[in-house]
Amino acid sequence: GPLRVLVFGAAMRAGSVNARLASLVARLVADTGATVDLASMRDFVMPLYDGDAEDAEGLPSGALALRDRIERCEAFVISSPEYNASVPGVLKNAIDWVSRVHPQPFKDKHALLVSASPSMVGGNRGLWALRVPLEHLGTRVYPDMFSLARAHQGFTEDGQLTDSGLQQRLAETVEAFLRLVEADMRYVCLERR
């Protein structure tokens, strides 16, 4: 069947520019014929990681819900803000909880990292930091990344990027990422025969 791709906006804010970027990426993914599951951090509210709570009650429902959504896809895209040049604590907390599941669902999944920020940097330093836990967990993080600077001015009314050159580059990055995922899926199928 078609590739299943989870596109995940990693901010809690309803008006998040990363949610807007996630929506745009979801459309670009759907344009390639893949099946998209669009999600937001708001769908996965969970307490701060606490080993005692885990021992007593296991994983919170928000973490289990995120685990389920990751398990159902071959690839995921995270659109994350950058906080203090690193990964937002809310996202790191979610990764930490979900990593406690066995088998943990990040292993061997393909991931594309994108970011949006009102700043001139576009949140790119946060994506470099986000690679560390994901690669540790065995996710194949795509080498290329996309960061939208001045994101508060970056979108048209209908959710496209105002800079058509950037829009083109984002579409090409998404397409190249999905071509790699598809090639890898074919390889895995051949190997299993």
Q: Which residues bind ligand FNR (CB under 6 A)?
A: 11, 13, 16-18, 81-85, 117-119, 121, 123
Q: Which is nearer to ligand FNR, 117 or 139 (CB)?
A: 117
**Residue 133 identity (one-letter amino acid):** P
Q: Which is nearer to ligand FNR, 84 or 156 (CB)?
A: 84
**Residue 88 identity (one-letter amino acid):** P
The three-state secondary structure class of 93 is: helix
In whole angstroms, the minimum distance from the beta carbon of 54 to ligand FNR comes to: 26
Token reading at 145: 């990344």
Residue 95's φ and ψ, nearest 5 degrees, are -60, -45
Q: Which is nearer to ligand FNR, 16 or 139 (CB)?
A: 16
Q: Which is nearer to ligand FNR, 18 or 99 (CB)?
A: 18
In whole angstroms, the minimum distance from the beta carbon of 117 to ligand FNR comes to: 4
Residues 6+ apart with CB under 8 A from 75: 3, 4, 5, 6, 109, 110, 111, 112, 177, 178, 181
In whole angstroms, the minimum distance from the beta carbon of 135 to ligand FNR comes to: 21
Dihedral sign of CA atoms 14, 117, 105, 31 in order: positive
CA–CA distance, 34 with 188 (Å, rounded to integer) = 18
Q: Which is nearer to ligand FNR, 88 or 105 (CB)?
A: 88
Q: Which is nearer to ligand FNR, 147 or 173 (CB)?
A: 147
CA–CA distance, 44 with 28 (Å, rounded to integer) = 24
In whole angstroms, the minimum distance from the beta carbon of 130 to ligand FNR comes to: 13
CA–CA distance, 123 with 106 (Å, rounded to integer) = 22
In whole angstroms, the minimum distance from the beta carbon of 61 to ligand FNR comes to: 24
In whole angstroms, the minimum distance from the beta carbon of 124 to ligand FNR comes to: 8
Peptide bond preceding 103 in cis form (omega within 30 of 0): yes
